[in-house]
């Protein structure tokens, strides 16, 4: 068995792991990165990037379907979907980005160990590679094992035709009908994709509204618009079982004590993700854990000296951009710096049509925190850029502390919300006064003007409302 000695060993090459490896190498550390699958982890290979690539296809298809609104006349049945080509484009994008990460490893001198890593101690990892065993000895260890699709114990969840998000991204098929179990981010993004391409979609959610962690107005507005596009919702229900029947699947649900069922070609389980950090060997290290998550402090240190953790394995909000930040912070502290995650402000985005994005406190959580709030809102239907783009739906909403004027949080529902949220994330990070955003000159015409108008509305001086 061969050996490799490094300063820092990173276990897992997803967003947290590969960023940690690069940052540690930038700081002069010798780094080994261990990964059993492909570089980039879930986000690049089975999550963020492939889903957004598919959603772009759906958006183009819908734009063609509504070309008449822009004065463009098309022949009947002018557009059709080549599912195999859609899948190939997705794979091409993923391969390109993955090759970029591979080049970054070489550029920064990171040793990539392809294989299954098993922790022997806080300073030793055994790797089973295709060429045999490898012992990696290190001074510091960073755990970034990520997460995987969660499949709840529903009878029949393993039936033929029942998919996880991983499965859905590997098939070119657009089913005639599909039941999506879960009304969170993953479920709704797939609902947008399938419905745009012609599937009859039913979303089943245990809570009484979709996106239960988001501002209630976003949940209501998105539900209304998705219903207009043909998506059906069953909210506040429990899935009892899934049965394979002739020609498809039968999903049985319970709603207020009443049982019912409906048939579909496919069922997608999208109820969330399970954390992968607490493997038996990690448990043997004596790591402190909380409901399956590795407990870390603000420096991403675990309860075991010399061991750090970052990304989904630490629980909380399972977001790739948060994993990027945590991986960087873990690497910097492992390399001897003193970096804290305590002040991180984390935006969240949902890539439905329209998009939704939020940062900081929403109206409900701000009131629960004891703030006397000013709330401002501006609808995109009064925004010139939005109307010229053919997007009338949505709004910007801001929440500020009435006594100080400091922006506490904001949400956006509408076109390019994921691109617009960064301005508000910066404002929350800097504890900016909403007067600054209200008075700041935004280009005209632009969607971002809605941000300044929403802030002005909270101050009682919106111009276009």
Per the listing, tokens 């904001």 go with 410
Of residues 421, 366, 354, the one with CA closest to residue 399? 366
The per-residue pLDDT for range 211-243, each reduced to its tens digit, is: 998 999 999 999 999 999 999 999 999 999 999
CB-based contact 376:408 (threshold 8 Å): no
Distances (CA, A) of 52 to 94, 96, 174, 181: 11, 15, 16, 20
First-last CA distance in the chain: 71
Distance CA 406, CA 107 (A): 43
Distance CA 251, CA 263 (A): 6
**Starting from the edge strand earliest in sequence, which strands make up the sheet with 248-255, in order?**
238-245, 248-255, 258-264
Domains of the chain: 2-148+274-334 (3.50.50.60), 162-265 (3.50.50.60), 354-458 (3.30.390.30)
Q: Three-class SS of residue 367? A: helix
pLDDT of the residue at 76: 66
Task: Tell me the pLDDT of the chain (465 aa) as tens digits.
Answer: 699 999 999 999 999 999 999 999 999 999 999 999 999 999 999 999 999 999 999 999 999 988 989 999 887 667 888 989 999 999 999 999 999 999 999 999 999 999 999 999 999 999 999 989 999 999 999 999 999 999 999 999 999 999 999 999 998 789 999 999 999 999 999 999 999 999 999 999 999 999 998 999 999 999 999 999 999 999 999 999 999 998 899 999 999 999 999 999 999 999 999 999 999 999 999 999 999 999 999 999 999 999 999 999 999 999 999 999 999 999 999 999 999 999 999 999 999 999 999 999 999 999 999 999 999 999 999 999 999 999 999 999 999 999 999 999 999 999 999 999 999 999 999 999 999 999 999 999 999 999 999 999 999 999 999
Determine phi and psi for 268, rounding to 5 degrees.
-110, 120
- pTM for the full predicted model: 0.95
444 is known as an active-site residue:
yes
Give me 334's structure tokens. 């492992």
Distance CA 101, CA 64 (A): 34
CB-based contact 309:288 (threshold 8 Å): no
The per-residue pLDDT for range 50-65, each reduced to its tens digit, is: 999 999 999 999 999 8
Distance CA 85, CA 192 (A): 19
Distance CA 436, CA 465 (A): 19
pLDDT of the residue at 171: 87
pLDDT of the residue at 246: 86
The set of long-range contacts for 184-189, using a CB threshold of 8 Å and a minimum separation of 24, is: 184/210, 184/211, 184/212, 184/270, 184/271, 184/272, 185/211, 185/350, 186/51, 186/270, 186/272, 187/268, 187/270, 187/271, 188/222, 188/226, 188/350, 188/352, 189/51, 189/55, 189/350, 189/351, 189/352
- Catalytic-labelled residue, pool 66, 321, 442, 444: 444
């Amino acid at each position: 068995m061969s050996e490799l000695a490094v300063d820092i060993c990173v276990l897992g090459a997803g967003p947290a792991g590969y960023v940690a490896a690069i940052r540690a190498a930038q700081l002069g550390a010798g780094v080994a990165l261990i990964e059993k699958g492909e570089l980039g982890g879930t986000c690049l290979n089975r999550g963020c990037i492939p889903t957004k690539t598919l959603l772009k296809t759906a958006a183009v298809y819908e734009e063609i379907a509504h070309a008449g609104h822009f004065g463009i006349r098309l022949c009947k049945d002018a557009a059709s979907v080549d599912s195999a080509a859609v899948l190939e484009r997705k794979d091409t994008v993923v391969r390109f980005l993955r090759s970029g990460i591979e080049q970054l490893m070489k550029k920064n001198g990171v040793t990539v160990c392809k294989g299954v890593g098993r922790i022997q101690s806080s300073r030793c990892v055994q790797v089973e590679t295709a060429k045999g065993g490898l012992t990696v000895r290190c001074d510091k260890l960073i755990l970034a094992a990520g997460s995987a699709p969660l499949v709840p114990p529903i009878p029949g969840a393993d039936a033929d035709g029942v998919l996880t998000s991983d499965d859905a991204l590997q098939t070119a098929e657009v089913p005639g009908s599909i039941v999506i179990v879960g009304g969170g981010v993953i479920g709704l993004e797939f609902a947008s994709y399938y419905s745009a391409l012609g599937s009859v979609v039913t979303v089943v959610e245990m809570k009484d509204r979709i996106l239960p962690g988001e501002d209630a107005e976003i949940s209501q507005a998105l539900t209304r618009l998705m219903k207009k596009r043909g998506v059906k919702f069953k909210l506040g229900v429990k899935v009892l079982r899934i049965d394979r029947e002739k020609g498809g699947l039968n999903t049985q649900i319970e709603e207020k004590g009443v049982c019912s069922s409906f048939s579909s070609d496919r069922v997608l389980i999208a109820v969330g993700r399970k954390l992968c950090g607490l493997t038996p060997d990690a448990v043997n290290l004596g790591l402190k854990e909380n409901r399956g998550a590795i407990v870390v402090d603000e420096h991403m240190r675990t309860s075991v000296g010399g061991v750090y953790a970052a990304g989904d394995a630490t629980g909380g909000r399972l977001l790739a951009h948060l994993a990027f930040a945590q991986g960087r912070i873990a690497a910097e502290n492992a390399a001897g710096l003193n970096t804290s995650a305590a002040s991180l402000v984390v935006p969240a985005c949902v890539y439905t049509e329209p998009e939704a994005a939020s940062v900081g406190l929403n109206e409900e959580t701000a009131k629960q925190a004891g703030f006397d709030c000013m709330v401002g809102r501006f609808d995109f239907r009064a925004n010139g850029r939005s109307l010229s783009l053919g997007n009338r739906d949505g709004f910007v909403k801001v929440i500020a502390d009435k006594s100080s004027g400091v922006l506490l949080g904001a949400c956006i529902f509408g076109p390019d919300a994921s691109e617009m949220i960064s301005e508000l994330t910066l404002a929350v990070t800097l504890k900016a006064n909403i007067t600054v955003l209200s008075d700041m000159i935004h280009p005209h015409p632009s969607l971002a003007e809605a941000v300044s108008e929403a802030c002005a509305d909270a101050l009682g001086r919106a111009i276009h409302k």
